[in-house]
Amino acid sequence: MATLEDHLREWTRMESYELDAIAYKTSPSDVVDHASVIWPDGSTGTFTTTAFVTVDYANIATGFTVTHDSSSMLVVQPDHILSAHGLVVVEPELLITAASAAAFGGSPFGDRPFGE
């Protein structure tokens, strides 16, 4: 049975959350600074761009965080490494942490199946 961590990882990879109330960076103005999120399970959260690069006159977000409020989990996409043409050369694994490891039996992810 899939855990919430499994779902968060998949939803983030597939960008299955919905962005709402989007605020753009002042400069460059085409990069999302932060936004409200609605996850497929109905939980809310916040998306925040943590890094971006400019490639061929386009600004590309290369790192971000997104919270899952109902579980107090945080998904972190460490900075991607891009080629000079904007192609992903290195895509670090998503990191998922909990606000309080004690709330999950000492492990930040616990062994709880999704939905329990």
pLDDT of residue 113: 43
Q: What is the pLDDT of residue 99?
A: 59
pLDDT at 57: 74
The model's pTM is: 0.75
pLDDT at 115: 46
- Low-confidence residues of the chain, pLDDT below 70? 99-116
Q: Give the pLDDT of residue 104.
A: 37
**Quick one: three-class SS letters along the chain?**
CCEHHHHHHHHHHCCCCEEEEEEECCCCCCCEEEEEEECCCCCEEEEEEEEEEEECCEEEEEEEEEEECCCCEEEEECCCEECCCCCEEECCCCEEEECCHHHHCCCCCCCCECCC
